[in-house]
Structure 1
Amino acid sequence: MAVGRLTSTLFLFTLLICLVIAEETVSSLVTEASAAIDARRFDTAETLYSRAIKLDEEHAGVLYCQRALTRRVQQNYEGALSDLDTCLADKGLSDRDYVYYQLKQHCEVLLATGNVDRALRELKSLKKFELSSAEQQRKTDLQSRIEAARKIKKRLPSADLAAVKELLTLTPYDLKLLNQLCAKAIEAKNTALLVEVSRKMIDSFPGDGQAMLYGAQGKMLLGDVQSAYKLARRAMDLDPDNSDYLKIFRPITQTKRKLDKIAKAMESGKYDLVVNESFEGPDIIKISVERSRCQAAVKSKHSGAVSICTAAHRLAERLRDTEAIIEILLERSTAYENADDLDSAIADVQTVLQHDQTHATARDRLSSLQTAKQLADRVDHYKVLGVSRGDDDKTIKRAYKKLAMKYHPDRAETDEQRTEFTVKFQEIGQAYEILSDPEKRAAYDRGDDLNQGGPGGFPGGFPGGFPGFPGGFQFFSSSGPQDAGSQGFRFQFR
């Protein structure tokens, strides 16, 4: 009984299919295909024409021509060429305008696919038509393009890049030519040629795995590892077991993993890990690793930061990579600053500004470094008095008195010591003059250039009193105040 029900179900299903097929005529399919073309759904139109061809293969010449149009729009030029070959072999085509249009389309497809000799022969068949002036002009233009492509193809592989670009424009769907040019570019390590041809190949054959791999190799030669990996990954997804694909995919994957590892370490602050990384490969990719090593060395204040950044700078100079040069010089300037070599730090920033006078970061950094240099070159008055920047006036005054007593020239026991004490005594006085005055001290802390007067640094001159003590110090020699400094100092409190 169950078998009977199953047989009945199969019968009804078969009958339904027969009814559907009976209702689906060539005419209805062509009507649907035309509507699909109007809606720019060319893949749907292609499918409908294919079904119509199966229903009436004996009179399918026109249908092949129509399907060729949909395939051409979808960049399936090989399929379009096959359909046009079949279409034009149909002796039943008689409409003059229709035949002329299909012959012209055939010539264009032959040219696009690189069949230039066939295209020229086909073009001659248009002579049997009485062409209007517009049709004759289109024929002449097409002939010029075919002959130009033919001329360049004869010059290969010695044609220059400009000629190759022109040829690729004329014959963008010549897969054999594209493969040959890519292989030649890789062999010659011609980055410009490989990038140009592989880009055109991917545009013309978006689903071709070999095109993707050539594109990936071109991206690698440009140092764009992430884009190279994406293209290679797509190729592998199309054919996972292809050993030739794997040979290209594996090194790209290894390089990507290394760069990802470095990027992750930088983000997480593991700078020592980055500094210890190395990379053996094309300089265009190596520069990315060396830039990261330089940055990591500076951030971690690695003892070898200057030498690491210098090596990276040499590589960037060799590649003429201005962006990398600027970044590395700014990093190295920080490394020099950390090593208290402000002159070298300033020189690196000035070199950056030679590359780009408007570089905002470099301009700000130069100003900051020049201020630091001025501060480093001047006397550290806090250090002279043995106090810190945050100490109050009372602490500064106490330190000043103590040092003034210790280094007063009258305490010197020898002429050599007198000279030493005199210099030291003047430094102490100059330091106190600035740090005891709130306005001068604030200006000094800002790094302002203070006009600090004569070498003594004392208001009124050296023998005229000693500021900071109640009543001051008076200095005398055995001959009286006028001769102070000529026969030895003595001092007393007032």
Structure 2
Amino acid sequence: MKKFQFLFLFFFISIFLQSIECKSKSDLIKEGDELLSTNPNQAINTYNQAIKTDENDYYLYYKRSLAQLNLHKFRSFMSDISYSLSLNPTFSSGYFLRGRINLKLGRLDEAEADLKKSGMSAKTQLKSIKQAKKLITKYDKVLKSKPNEKTNEEKKKILDEILKLCPSFLKYLQERISISISTADLNSALFDLQTSLLTDRSDPKTHYLKGKVQGIINERQTAVESFKNCLKYDPDNKECKTEFFRTKKIMRKLEQVDRILEQNQYRKTIQLLTETIQLWDEQGRWSPESGAMMYQKRCRAYVGLSETDNALKDCESSLEIQDNYAEAWFWKGEAKIKAELWDEAINDFNKFQELDQNQSQRAQEAKRRAEIEKKKASRVNYYKVLEISEDATLPQIKRAYRTKAKKFHPDMVQGEENKKQAEKTFGKIAEAYEVLKDPEKRRKYDLGEDLLEQHNPFENFQNGGFTFNFGF
């Protein structure tokens, strides 16, 4: 039974294969033509089958070249159309088509030769070739002239005219991409990159320029891949090697920065960012977003160290590069709090909130802190009175109080005027201690509440007459 099933399957497959083989050349051409515009890849497969039936038929290679052209496979197109013409040197339509594509690719001499050899009417194409040659001569003169403010504008205008005549002229597509990068016209650069890659996906300079654009828009990982592709097609390309290793180095450093900044290792963060900013400078500052981000993070680190001048300088540098960078406005506000510029800090936090609506709560909290610090600055600073830090522990508070109380106790001072001054100073010391030794009062004081406005427990002392001891 199994043997019978196997024989039946073998017979069925044989019949199926024979049905394919039995398709005539004309049937295959017809099938390929139907697929040519909708599925050029399948059309190529069909023309391949047709070629197997007659490997010396020039027309089959011509047909396959049309499918290659629909896929923008210019090298494969040229290979097929040229082979077709070698089989039939009198094939006028083949010369005319190759001439038109050579014009599109900027191969002007080859285009002219093909169009003339075709014997077909090609006045429009020959006129375009003549115009393109004149424009190229004009462009070369501009390149040799001394660069000035109008040079890029003039070059771009000529390039637009050249590429209107020869839309896939790779050399001048790349020239226009470079100008678009230098003038920050990234949409134009991306459009021309797409055309360049369709023209020749293996051209190293196109991948190099693609990496540059990706770097500008802060897509560092994809930029690395583009530089890698450049080196794949040209292993000795110095520009690609430099950018490949430099971009990878920047990526490693920035990953490390993010990690150590969260660990509050501010000094090390500043060192790493200074090195990375230098690398960015060496790259020609071609990624504004990266530069703005690095200055902002260094600003944040300086805020952590209370180095307000450096912090403000870096946040300003960040905003000079990208004035709508919300995070830079936030840390500029934090630096202003450290610098005791509370109203300016609140303005910066308002700008931060305006630029990033999703950070409203963070902005509100920052503004509240600025208001609290402003309020605290208008009253006695108990920490300064006892000469302790704001994170002092209770034992440290007690020691500071004991030292100050002994020094400024009125009984230790001679003379009426000196005694009055000592009483006043001692009153502030005792007041500070009364608040800071009590966790709840200290918490409220740190939040900006005026605890002693309603009732001053030391008012009797201020009027004289008290009993004091150093018991705790």
Q: TM-score range by the shorter chain?
A: 0.5 to 0.7
Match of 2:247 among 246, 256, 270: 256
Counterparts of 2:210 and 2:438 in 1: how far apart (Å)? 71
Counterparts of 1:427 and 1:221 in 2: how far apart (Å)? 58
Counterparts of 2:185 and 2:119 in 1: how far apart (Å)? 34
Counterparts of 1:49 and 1:439 in 2: how far apart (Å)? 88
Is the alpha carbon distance of 1:124 and 1:348 closer, same or farther for their aligned partners in structure 2, counting shifts above 3 Å?
A: farther
Per-residue deviation, 1:67: 2.2
Counterparts of 1:226 and 1:435 in 2: how far apart (Å)? 52
With the length of structure 2 as denominator, give the TM-score of the two structures.
0.60
Per-residue deviation, 1:75: 0.6
Per-residue deviation, 1:385: 9.6
Identical positions, percent = 18
Equivalent residue letter for 1:171: C
Residue aligned with 1:70, SS: helix
Counterparts of 1:144 and 1:441 in 2: how far apart (Å)? 88
Which residue does 2:25 correspond to in 1? 26
Which residue does 1:42 correspond to in 2? 40
Counterparts of 1:436 and 1:226 in 2: how far apart (Å)? 54
Which residue does 1:342 correspond to in 2? 340
Per-residue deviation, 1:70: 0.9
Which residue does 1:131 correspond to in 2? none
Match of 2:58 among 38, 60, 64: 60
Counterparts of 1:298 and 1:37 in 2: how far apart (Å)? 60
Structure 2 unaligned regions, length at least 5? 1-17, 143-153, 468-472
Query: Is contact 1:213–1:232 with CA below 8 Å preserved after alignment?
Result: yes
Whether 1:208 aligns to 2:196 is no
With the length of structure 1 as denominator, give the TM-score of the two structures.
0.58
Residue aligned with 2:453, SS: coil
Counterparts of 1:26 and 1:200 in 2: how far apart (Å)? 35
Match of 2:121 among 115, 125, 137: 125
Which residue does 2:270 correspond to in 1? 275
Match of 2:222 among 227, 234, 238: 227
Equivalent residue letter for 1:366: K
Per-residue deviation, 1:446: 4.0
Counterparts of 1:437 and 1:58 in 2: how far apart (Å)? 101
Counterparts of 1:123 and 1:151 in 2: how far apart (Å)? 25
Following superposition of structure 1 onto structure 2, how do residues 76-95 of structure 1 map, counting pairs within 5 Å? 76-77=73-74, 79-80=76-77
Per-residue deviation, 1:252: 1.9
Is the alpha carbon distance of 1:317 and 1:332 closer, same or farther for their aligned partners in structure 2, counting shifts above 3 Å?
A: closer
Counterparts of 2:217 and 2:200 in 1: how far apart (Å)? 22
Which residue does 1:371 correspond to in 2? 372
Counterparts of 1:290 and 1:441 in 2: how far apart (Å)? 39
Counterparts of 1:222 and 1:442 in 2: how far apart (Å)? 46
Is the alpha carbon distance of 1:72 and 1:305 closer, same or farther for their aligned partners in structure 2, counting shifts above 3 Å?
A: farther
Counterparts of 2:223 and 2:466 in 1: how far apart (Å)? 84
Per-residue deviation, 1:451: 9.4
Following superposition of structure 1 onto structure 2, how do residues 29-428 of structure 1 map, counting pairs within 5 Å? 29-34=28-33, 36-37=35-36, 40-50=38-48, 52-53=50-51, 55-56=53-54, 59-61=57-59, 63-77=60-74, 79-80=76-77, 109=101, 112-114=104-106, 118=112, 125=121, 156=139, 159-161=154-156, 164=159, 168=163, 171-179=166-174, 185=179, 192=185, 195=189, 197-220=192-215, 224-238=219-233, 242-243=235-236, 245=237, 247-269=238-260, 271=265, 272-277=267-272, 278=275, 279-280=278-279, 281=282, 282-284=284-286, 288=290, 291-292=293-294, 295=297, 298=300, 303=305, 306=308, 309-310=311-312, 312-313=314-315, 315-316=317-318, 320-322=321-323, 326-331=326-331, 333-334=333-334, 340-343=338-341, 347=344, 350-351=347-348, 353-354=350-351, 357-359=354-356, 360=359, 361-380=362-381, 414-421=415-422, 423-424=424-425
Is the alpha carbon distance of 1:201 and 1:449 closer, same or farther for their aligned partners in structure 2, counting shifts above 3 Å?
A: farther
Query: Is contact 2:220–2:251 with CA below 8 Å preserved after alignment?
Result: no
Counterparts of 2:437 and 2:314 in 1: how far apart (Å)? 49
CA RMSD in angstroms, aligned pairs only: 5.9
Is the alpha carbon distance of 1:89 and 1:421 closer, same or farther for their aligned partners in structure 2, counting shifts above 3 Å?
A: same
Is the alpha carbon distance of 1:297 and 1:146 closer, same or farther for their aligned partners in structure 2, counting shifts above 3 Å?
A: same
- The farther-off stretch of 443-452 and 68-77 is 443-452
**Taking CA–CA contacts closer than 8 Å with sequence separation of 6 or more, which of the two structures ends up with the larger relative contact order?**
2
Counterparts of 1:156 and 1:353 in 2: how far apart (Å)? 50
Is the alpha carbon distance of 1:176 and 1:268 closer, same or farther for their aligned partners in structure 2, counting shifts above 3 Å?
A: closer
Counterparts of 1:438 and 1:20 in 2: how far apart (Å)? 94
Counterparts of 1:146 and 1:349 in 2: how far apart (Å)? 64
Is the alpha carbon distance of 1:233 and 1:425 closer, same or farther for their aligned partners in structure 2, counting shifts above 3 Å?
A: closer
Equivalent residue letter for 2:173: L
Structure 1 unaligned regions, length at least 5? 1-18, 94-98, 128-138, 468-472, 476-488
- The farther-off stretch of 297-306 and 279-288 is 297-306
Counterparts of 1:178 and 1:91 in 2: how far apart (Å)? 34
Aligned residue pair count: 408
